[in-house]
């Protein structure tokens, strides 16, 4: 694999306490892989981290520090593609527009889609997009 799109569901499984990550980043991505995310990804991940951090004063700073260490390239075209390609994919595959943004990016970049979301993985497979982790069934 050379490129992958990382969605929030998989990223959060690595960051949230109590989440049982089936595979760690090193099990999915290789050194030199290009990992992409749509521009909504940092907002989606940070919002979930903030909402679930509760009263644990150490969790959020540690999770944010870990998140900032990841080499994820943020796609600058997501917003411009929302009213066209992304919305079309959402309607065609009955996805949220947010999930369709990950799928559109994977299609545009010719990248695999790294996600735990069953509906998103199913739509990706329908369109011939490789899904990661490969061992998950949709």
Domain residue limits, the chain:
3-132
Please provide residue 66's backbone torsions phi and psi, each rounded to the nearest 5 degrees: -60, -45
- Band of residue 138 on the pLDDT scale cut at 50, 70, 90: very low
Token pair 């997009």: residue: 129
Tell me the sheet residues that pair with 37.
74
Q: Note the pLDDT of residue 135.
A: 73
Alpha carbon of residue 103 to chain centroid: 9
Q: How far apart are CA 109 and CA 86, in angstroms?
A: 14
Specify the residue for token string 């969790």.
59
On whether the CB atoms of residues 114 and 130 are closer than 8 A, the answer is no
Q: Is the pLDDT of residue 77 over 90?
A: yes
- Looking at every residue in the chain, the average pLDDT score rounds to 89
Model-level pTM greater than 0.85? yes
At 130 the pLDDT is 94
Please give the class, per CATH, of domain 3-132: alpha beta
Whether 122 shows a pLDDT value over 50: the answer reads yes
* Rounded Cα distance, 2 and 122, in Å: 22
* Residue of higher predicted confidence among 23 and 123: 123
């Amino acid at each position: 694999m050379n490129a992958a799109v990382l969605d929030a569901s998989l990223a959060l499984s690595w960051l949230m306490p109590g989440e049982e990550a089936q595979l760690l980043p090193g099990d999915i991505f290789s050194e030199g892989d290009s990992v992409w995310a749509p521009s909504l990804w940092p907002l989606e991940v940070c919002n979930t981290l903030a909402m679930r951090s509760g009263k644990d004063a150490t969790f959020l700073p540690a999770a944010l520090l870990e998140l900032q260490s990841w080499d994820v390239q943020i796609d600058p075209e997501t917003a411009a593609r929302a009213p066209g390609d992304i919305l079309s994919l959402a309607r065609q595959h009955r996805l949220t527009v947010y999930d369709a943004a990950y799928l559109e990016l994977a299609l545009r970049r010719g990248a695999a889609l790294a996600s735990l979301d069953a509906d998103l993985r199913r739509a990706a497979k329908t369109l011939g997009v490789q899904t990661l982790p490969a061992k998950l069934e949709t």
